[in-house]
Amino acid sequence: MQQHDLTNIPQIKLSFSHNIPFKERPHISNSQDVIKTFLAYWDKDLMNAQKEMYILYLDQHHRAIGVYHHSKGGIQDCLGELQQVFAVGLQANAAYFAVAINDTAGNHEPSEAEVAAAQHIQQTARAIGLQLYDYLLLTDDKSVSFKDNFLLLPDFAF
C-alpha cells in the first residue's frame, strides 16, 4: 500500500474584504431601497442587451454587506448557480440576500418559470440558514418586487 503525504494538500482560503465601517453601511428597509442599490451598480447600457444577475447581501440587522455581480448571460438567459450564491453569502456572514435579474425584452410580468425559480431559491436558502429578502425583476423603466407582489412563498417572514 502506497503512503501519501497528507501535508501535500492545497490549503483553501476564503477572503472577504470591506473597508466601510458597520455604522456607515446603509440599512435596507424595503424593496425600494433594494432596487436603488441594484440600479446604482447595474450597467445601464446592458439592461436591454444582456441578462445579468446581482446579489445584495445583508446582515441580521438588514445592513448592506455587499453587492455581488453573480453572472452575465446572453439576451434570453443568465444561469445562476445556487452553490455560488450561497457560498458568497455564507462567506460574508449574511443573514439575508436579495436577487436581481434584468429582462432584456422589457417584460414587467414575471414568468411562471421566474416565480418558480425565486421560490426554489427561497426554499433552498432556508435549509442553510439564509433568508431571501426579495427577488427583483428589473427593466429599463420599471422594477418588480416579488415580495411586494406576494410571489414568494406565503410563510416568508423576516
Per-residue model confidence as pLDDT tens digits over 23-33: 888 999 999 99
Q: What percent of the chain has pLDDT over 70?
A: 87
Residue count of the chain, please give it.
Answer: 158
Q: What is the pLDDT of residue 71?
A: 66
- Report how far apart, in Å, the C-alpha atoms of 85 and of each of 1, 19, 56, 68, 96 are: 41, 22, 10, 9, 12
C-alpha cell at position 35: 432596487
Q: What is the pLDDT of residue 156?
A: 47
Confidence of residue 63 (pLDDT cuts 50, 70, 90): very high
C-alpha cell at position 60: 441580521
- Give the Cα-Cα-Cα angle 20, 43, 41 (nearest 5 degrees): 20
Q: Where are the beta strands (DSSP E) in 6-153?
A: 52-58, 64-72, 96-102, 131-138, 143-145
What pTM does this model have?
0.84
Residue 18 in this model has a pLDDT that exceeds 80: no
Domain ranges of the chain: 27-145
- Cell 434570453, residue? 76
- Residue 148, beta-bridge partner list: none
User: What would the CATH number be for the domain defined by 27-145?
Assistant: 3.40.140.10
Q: What is the DSSP letter of 86?
A: H
